[in-house]
Structure 1
Amino acid sequence: MDSAWNRVLSVHRWILENGDKRTDPWPLVYSPVPVTLIFLSYLCMIWVGSRLMRNRKPFEIKIVLIVYNFAMVGLSAYMFYEFLVTSWLSNYSLLCQPVDYSTNPLPLRMARVCWWFFFSKIIELLDTLFFLLRKKNSQLTFLHVYHHGTMIFNWWAGVKYVAGGQSFFIGLVNTFVHIIMYTYYGLSAFGPHMQKHLWWKKYLTMLQLVGCSRTFWLLLLSKRYTLKKKQK
Protein backbone atom coordinates (compact mmCIF):
# COMPACT_ATOMS: atom_id res chain seq x y z
CA MET A 1 0.00 0.00 0.00
CA ASP A 2 2.82 2.39 0.92
CA SER A 3 4.58 1.57 -2.33
CA ALA A 4 1.46 2.30 -4.39
CA TRP A 5 0.91 5.58 -2.53
CA ASN A 6 4.53 6.54 -3.10
CA ARG A 7 4.10 5.91 -6.82
CA VAL A 8 1.02 8.15 -6.83
CA LEU A 9 2.99 10.88 -5.06
CA SER A 10 5.85 10.42 -7.51
CA VAL A 11 3.54 10.80 -10.52
CA HIS A 12 1.88 13.83 -8.94
CA ARG A 13 5.30 15.40 -8.32
CA TRP A 14 6.30 14.74 -11.94
CA ILE A 15 3.08 16.41 -13.13
CA LEU A 16 3.75 19.48 -11.00
CA GLU A 17 7.41 19.84 -11.95
CA ASN A 18 7.26 19.25 -15.71
CA GLY A 19 4.62 21.71 -16.82
CA ASP A 20 4.99 24.82 -18.96
CA LYS A 21 6.56 27.40 -16.62
CA ARG A 22 4.66 30.17 -18.40
CA THR A 23 1.23 28.73 -17.64
CA ASP A 24 1.87 27.11 -14.24
CA PRO A 25 1.00 30.31 -12.30
CA TRP A 26 -2.34 30.66 -14.11
CA PRO A 27 -5.61 29.63 -12.40
CA LEU A 28 -6.39 25.86 -12.30
CA VAL A 29 -3.22 24.89 -14.21
CA TYR A 30 -0.42 24.00 -11.78
CA SER A 31 -2.01 20.93 -10.17
CA PRO A 32 -4.50 18.35 -11.54
CA VAL A 33 -6.38 18.40 -8.22
CA PRO A 34 -8.69 21.38 -8.91
CA VAL A 35 -9.78 20.12 -12.32
CA THR A 36 -10.30 16.62 -10.88
CA LEU A 37 -12.53 18.08 -8.15
CA ILE A 38 -14.48 19.99 -10.78
CA PHE A 39 -15.00 16.77 -12.74
CA LEU A 40 -16.15 14.85 -9.64
CA SER A 41 -18.49 17.71 -8.73
CA TYR A 42 -19.87 17.53 -12.27
CA LEU A 43 -20.66 13.83 -11.90
CA CYS A 44 -22.24 14.47 -8.48
CA MET A 45 -24.34 17.25 -9.98
CA ILE A 46 -25.71 14.84 -12.59
CA TRP A 47 -26.42 12.11 -10.05
CA VAL A 48 -28.05 14.39 -7.47
CA GLY A 49 -29.77 16.63 -10.01
CA SER A 50 -31.44 13.79 -11.90
CA ARG A 51 -32.91 12.48 -8.63
CA LEU A 52 -34.04 15.87 -7.36
CA MET A 53 -35.77 16.63 -10.66
CA ARG A 54 -37.41 13.21 -10.99
CA ASN A 55 -40.74 14.33 -9.46
CA ARG A 56 -40.46 18.04 -10.15
CA LYS A 57 -41.70 20.16 -13.03
CA PRO A 58 -39.12 21.64 -15.39
CA PHE A 59 -37.81 25.05 -14.40
CA GLU A 60 -38.56 28.05 -16.58
CA ILE A 61 -35.11 29.56 -17.20
CA LYS A 62 -35.68 31.33 -20.51
CA ILE A 63 -33.85 34.54 -19.56
CA VAL A 64 -30.91 32.60 -18.09
CA LEU A 65 -30.56 30.55 -21.28
CA ILE A 66 -30.65 33.61 -23.52
CA VAL A 67 -28.01 35.44 -21.47
CA TYR A 68 -25.82 32.32 -21.13
CA ASN A 69 -25.92 31.33 -24.79
CA PHE A 70 -25.17 34.79 -26.15
CA ALA A 71 -22.40 35.23 -23.57
CA MET A 72 -20.90 32.01 -24.95
CA VAL A 73 -21.23 33.42 -28.46
CA GLY A 74 -19.19 36.43 -27.35
CA LEU A 75 -16.54 34.30 -25.63
CA SER A 76 -16.30 31.93 -28.61
CA ALA A 77 -15.95 34.86 -31.01
CA TYR A 78 -13.15 36.33 -28.89
CA MET A 79 -11.27 33.01 -28.79
CA PHE A 80 -11.75 32.41 -32.51
CA TYR A 81 -10.33 35.85 -33.25
CA GLU A 82 -7.35 35.26 -30.97
CA PHE A 83 -6.59 31.80 -32.42
CA LEU A 84 -6.90 33.12 -35.97
CA VAL A 85 -4.94 36.36 -35.62
CA THR A 86 -2.18 34.97 -33.40
CA SER A 87 -1.58 31.95 -35.65
CA TRP A 88 -1.61 34.21 -38.72
CA LEU A 89 0.86 36.70 -37.23
CA SER A 90 3.08 33.81 -36.07
CA ASN A 91 3.03 32.16 -39.53
CA TYR A 92 1.71 28.92 -38.05
CA SER A 93 1.78 25.77 -40.16
CA LEU A 94 -1.52 23.93 -40.59
CA LEU A 95 0.23 20.56 -40.71
CA CYS A 96 3.10 20.62 -38.24
CA GLN A 97 3.45 23.44 -35.76
CA PRO A 98 5.69 22.95 -32.70
CA VAL A 99 5.03 24.74 -29.43
CA ASP A 100 7.00 27.94 -28.85
CA TYR A 101 7.77 27.99 -25.12
CA SER A 102 9.39 31.42 -25.19
CA THR A 103 8.00 34.46 -23.39
CA ASN A 104 7.75 36.53 -26.55
CA PRO A 105 4.42 38.37 -27.02
CA LEU A 106 2.89 36.14 -29.70
CA PRO A 107 3.63 32.76 -28.04
CA LEU A 108 2.25 34.14 -24.76
CA ARG A 109 -0.82 35.43 -26.57
CA MET A 110 -1.43 31.97 -28.00
CA ALA A 111 -0.92 30.39 -24.58
CA ARG A 112 -3.45 32.80 -23.05
CA VAL A 113 -6.16 31.97 -25.59
CA CYS A 114 -5.47 28.26 -25.00
CA TRP A 115 -6.14 28.90 -21.29
CA TRP A 116 -9.38 30.68 -22.10
CA PHE A 117 -10.38 27.75 -24.31
CA PHE A 118 -9.70 25.36 -21.42
CA PHE A 119 -11.70 27.58 -19.04
CA SER A 120 -14.58 27.74 -21.53
CA LYS A 121 -14.84 23.94 -21.28
CA ILE A 122 -15.47 24.34 -17.56
CA ILE A 123 -18.14 26.96 -18.23
CA GLU A 124 -19.78 24.62 -20.74
CA LEU A 125 -20.51 22.13 -17.95
CA LEU A 126 -23.48 24.42 -17.32
CA ASP A 127 -25.03 22.95 -20.49
CA THR A 128 -25.63 19.77 -18.50
CA LEU A 129 -27.10 21.67 -15.54
CA PHE A 130 -29.59 23.39 -17.83
CA PHE A 131 -30.61 20.02 -19.30
CA LEU A 132 -31.26 18.77 -15.77
CA LEU A 133 -33.28 21.82 -14.73
CA ARG A 134 -35.40 21.66 -17.89
CA LYS A 135 -35.72 17.84 -17.67
CA LYS A 136 -34.27 17.39 -21.15
CA ASN A 137 -33.20 13.87 -20.26
CA SER A 138 -33.10 12.74 -23.88
CA GLN A 139 -30.16 15.10 -24.43
CA LEU A 140 -28.34 13.95 -21.31
CA THR A 141 -26.64 11.02 -23.02
CA PHE A 142 -23.45 9.17 -22.16
CA LEU A 143 -21.76 10.83 -25.15
CA HIS A 144 -22.74 14.26 -23.83
CA VAL A 145 -21.33 13.58 -20.35
CA TYR A 146 -18.22 11.88 -21.74
CA HIS A 147 -17.51 14.76 -24.11
CA HIS A 148 -17.88 17.49 -21.50
CA GLY A 149 -16.05 15.54 -18.82
CA THR A 150 -13.04 14.57 -20.91
CA MET A 151 -12.62 17.93 -22.63
CA ILE A 152 -11.69 19.68 -19.41
CA PHE A 153 -8.91 17.12 -18.80
CA ASN A 154 -7.72 17.23 -22.41
CA TRP A 155 -7.38 20.98 -22.43
CA TRP A 156 -6.02 21.19 -18.91
CA ALA A 157 -3.18 18.93 -20.10
CA GLY A 158 -2.86 21.06 -23.23
CA VAL A 159 -2.42 24.27 -21.27
CA LYS A 160 -0.20 22.58 -18.68
CA TYR A 161 2.26 21.13 -21.20
CA VAL A 162 1.64 22.29 -24.78
CA ALA A 163 -0.04 25.71 -24.73
CA GLY A 164 0.08 26.43 -28.45
CA GLY A 165 1.51 24.50 -31.36
CA GLN A 166 -0.66 22.28 -33.53
CA SER A 167 -3.50 22.20 -30.99
CA PHE A 168 -4.40 25.75 -32.04
CA PHE A 169 -6.28 24.36 -35.04
CA ILE A 170 -8.65 22.34 -32.86
CA GLY A 171 -9.44 25.48 -30.88
CA LEU A 172 -9.89 27.50 -34.07
CA VAL A 173 -12.39 25.06 -35.58
CA ASN A 174 -14.19 24.41 -32.29
CA THR A 175 -14.69 28.08 -31.46
CA PHE A 176 -16.03 28.82 -34.95
CA VAL A 177 -18.55 26.00 -34.66
CA HIS A 178 -19.52 27.18 -31.17
CA ILE A 179 -20.24 30.69 -32.43
CA ILE A 180 -22.90 29.23 -34.74
CA MET A 181 -24.07 26.62 -32.21
CA TYR A 182 -24.62 28.98 -29.28
CA THR A 183 -26.26 31.52 -31.60
CA TYR A 184 -28.76 28.82 -32.52
CA TYR A 185 -29.32 27.85 -28.87
CA GLY A 186 -29.72 31.50 -27.87
CA LEU A 187 -32.29 32.19 -30.57
CA SER A 188 -34.21 28.97 -29.91
CA ALA A 189 -34.46 29.93 -26.21
CA PHE A 190 -36.80 32.77 -27.20
CA GLY A 191 -39.54 30.21 -27.77
CA PRO A 192 -41.51 28.34 -30.46
CA HIS A 193 -42.24 31.51 -32.45
CA MET A 194 -38.53 31.66 -33.31
CA GLN A 195 -38.44 28.18 -34.88
CA LYS A 196 -39.45 29.41 -38.34
CA HIS A 197 -36.27 31.47 -38.42
CA LEU A 198 -34.08 28.52 -37.46
CA TRP A 199 -34.44 26.58 -40.70
CA TRP A 200 -30.63 26.38 -40.82
CA LYS A 201 -30.44 23.94 -37.91
CA LYS A 202 -29.65 21.02 -40.27
CA TYR A 203 -26.67 22.96 -41.61
CA LEU A 204 -25.43 23.46 -38.05
CA THR A 205 -25.40 19.68 -37.55
CA MET A 206 -23.51 19.28 -40.83
CA LEU A 207 -21.03 21.96 -39.74
CA GLN A 208 -20.41 20.15 -36.46
CA LEU A 209 -19.77 16.87 -38.27
CA VAL A 210 -17.52 18.44 -40.90
CA GLY A 211 -15.63 20.35 -38.19
CA CYS A 212 -14.94 17.16 -36.26
CA SER A 213 -13.85 15.22 -39.33
CA ARG A 214 -11.73 18.12 -40.58
CA THR A 215 -9.87 18.24 -37.28
CA PHE A 216 -9.36 14.46 -37.28
CA TRP A 217 -7.95 14.35 -40.80
CA LEU A 218 -5.71 17.35 -40.22
CA LEU A 219 -4.23 15.76 -37.12
CA LEU A 220 -3.76 12.50 -39.01
CA LEU A 221 -1.94 14.29 -41.84
CA SER A 222 0.15 16.13 -39.27
CA LYS A 223 1.16 12.83 -37.66
CA ARG A 224 2.12 11.27 -41.00
CA TYR A 225 4.06 14.39 -41.96
CA THR A 226 6.00 14.25 -38.68
CA LEU A 227 6.80 10.54 -39.12
CA LYS A 228 8.05 11.04 -42.69
CA LYS A 229 10.20 13.95 -41.56
CA LYS A 230 11.78 11.82 -38.83
CA GLN A 231 12.45 8.98 -41.31
CA LYS A 232 14.36 11.37 -43.56
Structure 2
Amino acid sequence: MEGLIHLPHYWFVSNPTVKHFQWRQGETFASSFLFLTLTVFTYLSLTFLLRRLSFPPLSPSILRPISAVHNLILLLLSSSMAIGISLSSLSQMQNPKWLLCFPKSQTPTGPVFFWAYIFYLSKILEFIDTLLIILAGSDRRLSFLHVYHHAVVIVMCYVWLSTVQSLMPIALATNACVHVIMYGYYFCCAIGRRPRWKRAVTDCQIVQFGLSFAISIVMVYYHLSGDGCSGIWGWCFNAVFNASLLALFMDFHSKNYARKKKMMIMDKLS
Protein backbone atom coordinates (compact mmCIF):
# COMPACT_ATOMS: atom_id res chain seq x y z
CA MET A 1 0.00 0.00 0.00
CA GLU A 2 2.80 2.41 0.87
CA GLY A 3 4.41 1.69 -2.49
CA LEU A 4 1.19 2.53 -4.30
CA ILE A 5 1.04 5.87 -2.48
CA HIS A 6 4.63 6.78 -3.37
CA LEU A 7 4.37 5.62 -7.00
CA PRO A 8 2.36 8.67 -8.26
CA HIS A 9 4.69 11.00 -6.36
CA TYR A 10 7.69 9.44 -8.08
CA TRP A 11 6.32 9.71 -11.61
CA PHE A 12 4.80 13.18 -11.20
CA VAL A 13 7.41 14.80 -8.94
CA SER A 14 10.52 12.85 -7.97
CA ASN A 15 11.80 11.17 -11.12
CA PRO A 16 14.96 12.89 -12.45
CA THR A 17 13.36 14.29 -15.63
CA VAL A 18 10.75 16.15 -13.60
CA LYS A 19 12.74 16.96 -10.47
CA HIS A 20 15.78 18.40 -12.25
CA PHE A 21 13.99 20.21 -15.03
CA GLN A 22 15.26 23.69 -15.85
CA TRP A 23 13.85 26.17 -18.34
CA ARG A 24 16.76 27.72 -20.21
CA GLN A 25 15.70 30.59 -22.45
CA GLY A 26 16.77 29.85 -26.01
CA GLU A 27 18.21 26.43 -25.10
CA THR A 28 15.26 24.34 -23.93
CA PHE A 29 13.21 23.04 -26.85
CA ALA A 30 10.59 25.63 -27.97
CA SER A 31 11.94 28.23 -25.54
CA SER A 32 13.06 30.87 -28.05
CA PHE A 33 10.96 33.92 -28.88
CA LEU A 34 11.44 33.08 -32.57
CA PHE A 35 9.84 29.66 -32.07
CA LEU A 36 6.87 31.25 -30.28
CA THR A 37 6.42 33.89 -33.00
CA LEU A 38 6.58 31.37 -35.84
CA THR A 39 4.18 29.03 -34.04
CA VAL A 40 1.50 31.69 -33.54
CA PHE A 41 2.00 33.07 -37.07
CA THR A 42 1.71 29.58 -38.59
CA TYR A 43 -1.44 28.83 -36.61
CA LEU A 44 -3.17 32.06 -37.66
CA SER A 45 -2.02 31.77 -41.29
CA LEU A 46 -3.14 28.16 -41.70
CA THR A 47 -6.45 28.85 -39.98
CA PHE A 48 -7.15 31.74 -42.36
CA LEU A 49 -5.99 29.80 -45.43
CA LEU A 50 -7.88 26.58 -44.67
CA ARG A 51 -11.01 28.55 -43.85
CA ARG A 52 -10.83 30.37 -47.19
CA LEU A 53 -10.39 27.17 -49.21
CA SER A 54 -13.99 26.15 -48.40
CA PHE A 55 -13.55 22.45 -49.14
CA PRO A 56 -16.41 20.00 -48.41
CA PRO A 57 -16.63 18.89 -44.77
CA LEU A 58 -15.41 15.43 -43.84
CA SER A 59 -17.96 12.73 -43.18
CA PRO A 60 -18.89 12.36 -39.48
CA SER A 61 -17.98 8.65 -39.73
CA ILE A 62 -14.38 9.70 -40.44
CA LEU A 63 -14.19 12.81 -38.27
CA ARG A 64 -15.72 11.44 -35.06
CA PRO A 65 -13.10 8.71 -34.39
CA ILE A 66 -10.31 11.24 -35.04
CA SER A 67 -11.98 13.76 -32.74
CA ALA A 68 -12.56 11.13 -30.06
CA VAL A 69 -8.88 10.13 -30.02
CA HIS A 70 -7.73 13.77 -29.98
CA ASN A 71 -10.04 14.71 -27.12
CA LEU A 72 -9.17 11.57 -25.15
CA ILE A 73 -5.45 12.41 -25.43
CA LEU A 74 -6.06 15.96 -24.20
CA LEU A 75 -8.36 14.68 -21.44
CA LEU A 76 -5.65 12.33 -20.14
CA LEU A 77 -2.95 14.97 -20.59
CA SER A 78 -5.00 17.59 -18.72
CA SER A 79 -5.64 15.10 -15.91
CA SER A 80 -1.91 14.34 -15.68
CA MET A 81 -1.06 18.05 -15.58
CA ALA A 82 -3.67 18.74 -12.89
CA ILE A 83 -2.25 15.94 -10.72
CA GLY A 84 1.35 16.79 -11.55
CA ILE A 85 1.17 20.50 -10.76
CA SER A 86 -0.80 19.85 -7.55
CA LEU A 87 1.68 17.29 -6.18
CA SER A 88 4.66 19.33 -7.40
CA SER A 89 3.39 22.52 -5.77
CA LEU A 90 2.96 20.76 -2.43
CA SER A 91 6.45 19.30 -2.76
CA GLN A 92 8.32 22.37 -4.00
CA MET A 93 6.62 25.22 -2.12
CA GLN A 94 8.62 26.79 0.70
CA ASN A 95 5.42 28.01 2.40
CA PRO A 96 1.79 28.70 1.34
CA LYS A 97 2.74 32.24 0.26
CA TRP A 98 5.06 30.73 -2.38
CA LEU A 99 2.01 29.57 -4.35
CA LEU A 100 0.92 33.19 -4.73
CA CYS A 101 4.19 35.09 -4.77
CA PHE A 102 7.48 33.68 -6.02
CA PRO A 103 10.48 35.45 -4.49
CA LYS A 104 12.40 37.54 -7.01
CA SER A 105 15.30 35.10 -6.68
CA GLN A 106 13.13 32.20 -7.93
CA THR A 107 14.58 30.34 -10.92
CA PRO A 108 12.46 28.27 -13.37
CA THR A 109 13.69 24.92 -12.09
CA GLY A 110 12.04 21.91 -10.50
CA PRO A 111 8.82 19.92 -10.96
CA VAL A 112 6.43 22.90 -10.92
CA PHE A 113 8.20 24.41 -13.90
CA PHE A 114 8.37 21.04 -15.65
CA TRP A 115 4.57 20.87 -15.61
CA ALA A 116 4.34 24.51 -16.70
CA TYR A 117 6.56 23.54 -19.66
CA ILE A 118 4.35 20.53 -20.51
CA PHE A 119 1.33 22.83 -20.26
CA TYR A 120 2.99 25.26 -22.69
CA LEU A 121 3.69 22.48 -25.21
CA SER A 122 0.15 21.13 -24.84
CA LYS A 123 -1.20 24.41 -26.24
CA ILE A 124 0.42 23.53 -29.57
CA LEU A 125 -1.39 20.18 -29.54
CA GLU A 126 -4.66 22.04 -28.88
CA PHE A 127 -4.32 23.76 -32.27
CA ILE A 128 -5.76 20.54 -33.69
CA ASP A 129 -9.09 21.68 -32.17
CA THR A 130 -9.25 24.36 -34.85
CA LEU A 131 -8.35 21.95 -37.64
CA LEU A 132 -11.14 19.58 -36.59
CA ILE A 133 -13.65 22.43 -36.58
CA ILE A 134 -12.58 23.46 -40.09
CA LEU A 135 -12.75 19.87 -41.35
CA ALA A 136 -16.26 19.60 -39.90
CA GLY A 137 -17.31 22.72 -41.82
CA SER A 138 -18.66 24.32 -38.63
CA ASP A 139 -18.55 28.08 -39.27
CA ARG A 140 -20.42 28.85 -36.05
CA ARG A 141 -17.82 27.12 -33.84
CA LEU A 142 -14.86 28.81 -35.57
CA SER A 143 -15.44 32.06 -33.71
CA PHE A 144 -13.14 34.97 -32.96
CA LEU A 145 -13.14 33.82 -29.31
CA HIS A 146 -11.87 30.36 -30.31
CA VAL A 147 -9.02 31.57 -32.53
CA TYR A 148 -8.05 34.45 -30.23
CA HIS A 149 -7.92 32.13 -27.21
CA HIS A 150 -5.78 29.51 -28.93
CA ALA A 151 -3.36 32.07 -30.41
CA VAL A 152 -2.77 34.12 -27.26
CA VAL A 153 -2.89 31.42 -24.56
CA ILE A 154 0.35 29.90 -25.85
CA VAL A 155 1.96 33.34 -25.49
CA MET A 156 0.66 33.50 -21.93
CA CYS A 157 2.22 30.12 -21.09
CA TYR A 158 5.52 31.24 -22.60
CA VAL A 159 5.40 34.39 -20.45
CA TRP A 160 4.75 32.24 -17.35
CA LEU A 161 8.06 30.46 -17.86
CA SER A 162 10.22 33.24 -19.27
CA THR A 163 9.31 35.72 -16.50
CA VAL A 164 9.01 33.13 -13.68
CA GLN A 165 5.54 34.49 -13.08
CA SER A 166 3.97 34.43 -9.62
CA LEU A 167 0.52 32.75 -9.26
CA MET A 168 1.48 30.33 -12.04
CA PRO A 169 0.99 27.10 -9.99
CA ILE A 170 -2.58 28.01 -9.06
CA ALA A 171 -3.40 29.27 -12.57
CA LEU A 172 -2.05 26.09 -14.13
CA ALA A 173 -3.89 23.79 -11.69
CA THR A 174 -7.27 25.50 -12.13
CA ASN A 175 -6.88 25.71 -15.91
CA ALA A 176 -5.93 22.05 -16.19
CA CYS A 177 -8.97 21.06 -14.10
CA VAL A 178 -11.28 23.12 -16.34
CA HIS A 179 -9.77 21.40 -19.37
CA VAL A 180 -10.48 18.00 -17.83
CA ILE A 181 -14.17 18.95 -17.76
CA MET A 182 -14.07 20.52 -21.23
CA TYR A 183 -12.26 17.70 -23.03
CA GLY A 184 -14.33 15.15 -21.12
CA TYR A 185 -17.43 16.79 -22.59
CA TYR A 186 -15.97 16.89 -26.10
CA PHE A 187 -14.89 13.25 -25.88
CA CYS A 188 -18.39 12.18 -24.86
CA CYS A 189 -19.83 14.14 -27.80
CA ALA A 190 -17.36 12.52 -30.20
CA ILE A 191 -18.45 9.01 -29.19
CA GLY A 192 -22.13 9.92 -29.51
CA ARG A 193 -22.97 10.42 -25.83
CA ARG A 194 -23.62 14.16 -25.58
CA PRO A 195 -23.80 15.12 -21.87
CA ARG A 196 -26.44 17.52 -20.59
CA TRP A 197 -23.90 19.72 -18.84
CA LYS A 198 -22.54 21.69 -21.81
CA ARG A 199 -23.28 24.96 -20.03
CA ALA A 200 -21.10 23.86 -17.09
CA VAL A 201 -18.02 24.04 -19.36
CA THR A 202 -18.52 27.77 -19.98
CA ASP A 203 -19.59 28.38 -16.37
CA CYS A 204 -16.40 26.76 -15.06
CA GLN A 205 -14.29 28.92 -17.37
CA ILE A 206 -16.00 32.07 -16.08
CA VAL A 207 -15.53 30.96 -12.44
CA GLN A 208 -11.86 30.30 -13.22
CA PHE A 209 -11.39 33.88 -14.39
CA GLY A 210 -13.19 35.22 -11.31
CA LEU A 211 -10.94 33.15 -9.04
CA SER A 212 -7.89 34.38 -10.91
CA PHE A 213 -8.80 38.02 -10.30
CA ALA A 214 -9.58 37.34 -6.62
CA ILE A 215 -6.24 35.69 -5.80
CA SER A 216 -4.44 38.33 -7.86
CA ILE A 217 -5.51 40.89 -5.26
CA VAL A 218 -3.62 38.89 -2.61
CA MET A 219 -0.57 38.60 -4.86
CA VAL A 220 -0.52 42.36 -5.51
CA TYR A 221 -0.74 42.96 -1.76
CA TYR A 222 2.28 40.71 -1.18
CA HIS A 223 4.14 42.45 -4.01
CA LEU A 224 3.54 45.94 -2.66
CA SER A 225 3.96 45.18 1.03
CA GLY A 226 7.10 43.04 0.85
CA ASP A 227 10.19 42.56 -1.27
CA GLY A 228 8.13 42.10 -4.41
CA CYS A 229 6.97 39.07 -6.40
CA SER A 230 8.70 37.52 -9.39
CA GLY A 231 7.29 38.09 -12.88
CA ILE A 232 5.03 41.05 -12.12
CA TRP A 233 5.14 42.30 -15.73
CA GLY A 234 4.21 38.84 -16.93
CA TRP A 235 1.28 38.93 -14.52
CA CYS A 236 0.17 42.28 -16.01
CA PHE A 237 0.02 40.68 -19.46
CA ASN A 238 -1.83 37.70 -18.00
CA ALA A 239 -4.36 39.98 -16.24
CA VAL A 240 -5.17 41.92 -19.43
CA PHE A 241 -5.53 38.68 -21.40
CA ASN A 242 -7.81 37.13 -18.75
CA ALA A 243 -9.94 40.28 -18.65
CA SER A 244 -10.40 40.16 -22.43
CA LEU A 245 -11.26 36.46 -22.30
CA LEU A 246 -13.75 37.00 -19.49
CA ALA A 247 -15.52 39.70 -21.51
CA LEU A 248 -15.66 37.43 -24.57
CA PHE A 249 -16.88 34.43 -22.54
CA MET A 250 -19.57 36.52 -20.86
CA ASP A 251 -20.72 37.73 -24.27
CA PHE A 252 -20.73 34.14 -25.58
CA HIS A 253 -22.63 32.98 -22.49
CA SER A 254 -25.32 35.65 -22.79
CA LYS A 255 -25.80 35.24 -26.54
CA ASN A 256 -26.09 31.45 -26.40
CA TYR A 257 -27.84 30.61 -23.13
CA ALA A 258 -29.96 33.72 -22.64
CA ARG A 259 -31.28 33.35 -26.19
CA LYS A 260 -32.11 29.67 -25.61
CA LYS A 261 -33.88 30.51 -22.37
CA LYS A 262 -35.92 33.18 -24.12
CA MET A 263 -36.89 30.75 -26.89
CA MET A 264 -37.98 28.16 -24.30
CA ILE A 265 -40.18 30.75 -22.58
CA MET A 266 -41.71 31.78 -25.89
CA ASP A 267 -42.42 28.13 -26.76
CA LYS A 268 -44.23 27.63 -23.45
CA LEU A 269 -46.33 30.74 -23.97
CA SER A 270 -47.27 29.86 -27.56
Residue 206 of structure 1: aligned partner: 203
Residue type matched to 1:47 in 2? Answer: F
- The unaligned stretches of length 5 or more in structure 2 are 1-21, 229-270
Q: Counterpart of 1:101 in 2: which secondary structure? A: coil
Structure 1 position 167, deviation (Å): 1.0
CA distance in 1, matches of 2:202, 2:191: 20
Identify which of 83, 96, 99 aligns with 2:101: 96
CA RMSD of aligned residues (A): 2.2
Identify which of 89, 103, 125 aligns with 1:87: 89
Q: Counterpart of 2:140 in 1: which secondary structure? A: helix
Alpha carbons 2:100, 2:167 under 8 Å: kept: yes
Alpha carbons 2:78, 2:180 under 8 Å: kept: yes
1:89-115 deviation per Cα after TM superposition (whole angstroms, max 9, x unaligned): 23343432336327xxxx411111110
- The unaligned stretches of length 5 or more in structure 1 are 1-20
CA distance in 2, matches of 1:229, 1:130: 48
Q: Counterpart of 1:85 in 2: which secondary structure? A: helix
Residues 113 and 43 (structure 1), Cα distance of their counterparts in 2 relative to 1, 3 Å cut: same
Number of aligned residues? 201
Task: Please tell me whether residue 36 in structure 1 is matched to residue 40 in structure 2.
Answer: no
Structure 1 position 151, deviation (Å): 1.1
Alpha carbons 1:95, 1:221 under 8 Å: kept: yes
CA distance in 2, matches of 1:199, 1:190: 14
1:188-226 deviation per Cα after TM superposition (whole angstroms, max 9, x unaligned): 0112xx23xx12222232212111211122123311332
CA distance in 1, matches of 2:163, 2:226: 23
Residue type matched to 1:166 in 2? Answer: L
Structure 1 position 150, deviation (Å): 0.8
CA distance in 1, matches of 2:100, 2:35: 33
Aligned 1:1-232 pairs, distance under 5 A: 22-24=23-25, 25-29=27-31, 31-52=32-53, 54-60=54-60, 61-91=63-93, 92-93=96-97, 94-98=99-103, 100-101=106-107, 107-162=109-164, 165-191=166-192, 194-195=193-194, 198-229=195-226
TM-score, normalised by the number of residues in structure 2? 0.68
Q: Counterpart of 1:140 in 2: which secondary structure? A: coil
Alpha carbons 1:23, 1:159 under 8 Å: kept: no
Structure 1 position 230, deviation (Å): 5.6
Q: Counterpart of 2:215 in 1: which secondary structure? A: helix
CA distance in 2, matches of 1:173, 1:42: 25
Q: Counterpart of 1:179 in 2: which secondary structure? A: helix
TM-score, normalised by the number of residues in structure 1? 0.79
CA distance in 2, matches of 1:173, 1:157: 18
Bigger drift between 202-211 and 113-122 goes to 202-211
CA distance in 2, matches of 1:78, 1:165: 22
Structure 1 position 55, deviation (Å): 4.8
Alpha carbons 1:98, 1:166 under 8 Å: kept: no
Residue type matched to 1:151 in 2? Answer: V
Q: Counterpart of 1:23 in 2: which secondary structure? A: coil
Structure 1 position 127, deviation (Å): 1.0
Residue type matched to 1:182 in 2? Answer: Y
Bigger drift between 175-184 and 206-215 goes to 206-215
Structure 1 position 136, deviation (Å): 1.5
Residue type matched to 2:210 in 1? Answer: S
